[in-house]
Chain A
Amino acid sequence: MTLAAETPVVKKTERAPTRTGWLMRQPRAVASMCFLLFLAFIALSAPWLAPYDPTKPDFGALLQGPSAAHWLGTDDLGRDILSRLMHGAGPSLVSAFASVALGMAIGVPVGLLAGFLGGWTDTVISRVLDALLSFPTILFAVGIAGILGPSMTTGLIALGVLFSPQFARLVRARTLVVRQELYVDAARAFGASTSRILIRHVLPNAIQSAIVHAGLLLAIALLAESSLSFLGFGVQPPHTSWGAMLARAYAYMESAPYLMFPPGIAILLTALSFNGLGETTRVLLDPQSPKA
């Protein structure tokens, strides 16, 4: 048995001369990107590409298994599963991206202010962030979405608000470090205003960790949105999303158990790709992480 400490933890690969070159040698990163690009293409061209109208019932073909006419079968109203899957890709992807973007849009400025101003502002903001972080995500989102009226928008706003303290905390911590840097002192000595220092000097440094975190949050956002849609608090009919498709599959679990596989696997593969991409972003942008 070899000593664990001597075994190289990180497989040292020759660092490629360029980032693109390095990226191309990461099979998971390449696969993730290809899959997400493919998915984006499907989502955008679903109206032309989908073989059937995703909302049109066909009572002659209820709960059918996969066939030549319906590659992935039909649901309880005879609607084509493949077409619904293709049309559901858009709302699922948009919700994931929008909730993370909203979290970032709220969290980054708040974290920047808290870290840069310090003192009472920081104390108050930090306690509010602690409070927001203690709400169990989906529980809170269900409450908000239910009371404000279920829709894709309320769902993603609730998720965005709950994601924002994570960004704010990260950016605050980075800002605390960056504001001690000499170049910030120098900028101030040259008479730069606070807002200029914040936007031109502190923000570019602090935002990197936020971008890395956003990459890692996408999969969580996708799963959270699917959960909300599954419970009926997210995307509303006649639009469809993968979570909503799973809810229908759940209702017909005994008579048509195969219905749960297309949307479930679509969510799984997308989340895996988001994480693959997020992990790659982290390695590329975080100077401390090993390039393994």
Chain B
Amino acid sequence: MVISKTSQRMITRRMLQFVPVVFCVAFIAFIMLSLAPGDPAELLAGEFPTEERIQEIREYYGFDRPILVQFADWFGSALTGDLSESLLSREPVMDIIISRFPYTLLMVTYAMVIATVIGIPLGIAAAAKPGTWIDTVASGISSFGVAVPYFWVGMVLVAVFALHWSVFPATGMPDPTEDLGGALYAATLPSIALAMSGIAEITRQMRAGMIEVLTSQYVRTLRAKGLSPNKVLFRHGLRNVGITVITVITLVFNRKIGATVVLETVFAIPGIGSTMVHSAVNKDYVVVQGIILVMAMVVITVNLIADILYAIIDPRVEVET
């Protein structure tokens, strides 16, 4: 595929922006959590610590240095993949994240597939026949999906399909890197709950995008030339909503990453989200910082890929700077 000069320039500019954003993300994550009240060293020293013990811990973790020095040190190591170690378990934060990420990624991907498989056809059908029953159903599903508390949906699903009928497990998930089939099976209920807002968002955006294409001048011309409605819909309509699809999938992905926190807790899945909750409760802020940084990086990278895809699909696109 040939990428035009404009697109290339845009991609380069977008890549260059990546660097300062990553720096800002790291800085915000580090500073905000360092503002926490209380001395982490005292916290770590346990009950009735001696002054020497606290000082020892301070020096071990470098808490006694100025905050900007601490940040520079942390960020410098982070760039090499070292996110320091957990205050509680002494386990390297990067190892924790790598071992937990597959659970979260599996859930998010599964939910994305569910949302796309339901949302895209539903949105197209609604756009093809606006004002009919299918359009009403689609808009009903959209309204419901964005308003329903997804973790409540998760609870209802557990009550019905796990506790009442025992079709799916209520909690837990095998390690996806070892037992992918079993993990997928266990991830079904949480992923359905996680997909709720995604289905809504994708349906709504697809409908709007398709209607914009279908009411455009050139589609009118194609129809006048005698092309069948289905050909117009699938050949020309779909091709031209590519941008919409990427935008909405990116958006939905970003939201899902955050939403897993609650669902992993409901379903007792040992992913990034439940690790976050556990670390936050226990004030293990080195882990909290590490997770926030890595997850924000995931989101930034997904957005970057989306922007590059825009530039390739449609060279006219000027990504807002």
Contact = CB atoms under 8 A, between A and B. Distances in A.
A254 B170 CA distance: 11
A139 B276 CA distance: 7
B140 to A, nearest CB: 11
B98 interface: no
Given A131-B24, A146-B279, A268 B148 contact: yes
Q: Main secondary structure on chain B at its contact with chain A? A: helix
Given A139-B276, A139-B291, A142-B277, A227 B261 contact: yes
A3 B277 CA distance: 52
A243 to B, nearest CB: 8
A5 B130 contact: no
A263 B155 CA distance: 12
Contacts, number: 177
A263 B303 CA distance: 35
Given A8-B130, A134-B254, 13 more contacts: A131-B296, A136-B299, A137-B258, A139-B257, A143-B285, A147-B283, A233-B280, A249-B155, A260-B152, A263-B152, A264-B156, A271-B146, A275-B146
A249 B163 CA distance: 14
Contacts of B158: 253
Contacts of B28: 128, 131-132, 135
23 contacts: A3-B223, A5-B216, A7-B129, A7-B131, A130-B24, A131-B28, A134-B297, A135-B295, A136-B299, A138-B262, A142-B261, A142-B280, A143-B276, A143-B280, A146-B281, A147-B283, A173-B320, A223-B149, A230-B265, A254-B163, A268-B147, A271-B146, A272-B147
A253 B321 contact: no
Given A9-B215, A144-B32, A231 B155 contact: no
Contacts of A47: none
Interface of A: 1, 3-5, 7-9, 11, 126-128, 130-132, 134-140, 142-149, 173, 219, 223, 226-227, 230-233, 246, 249-250, 253-254, 257, 260, 263-264, 267-268, 271-272, 274-275
A257 B24 contact: no
Given A130-B21, A138-B259, A139-B261, A147 B36 contact: yes
Contacts of A1: 229
B292 interface: yes
Contacts of A135: 25, 28-29, 292, 295-296, 299
Given A3-B223, A9-B211, A143 B292 contact: yes
Interface of B: 17, 20-21, 24-25, 27-29, 32-33, 35-37, 127-131, 143-144, 146-152, 155-156, 158-159, 163, 211, 214-216, 219-220, 223, 229, 232-233, 254-255, 257-259, 261-262, 265-266, 272-273, 276-277, 279-281, 283, 285, 288-289, 291-292, 295-297, 299-300, 303, 320-321
Given A139-B291, A147-B36, A246-B152, A134 B21 contact: yes
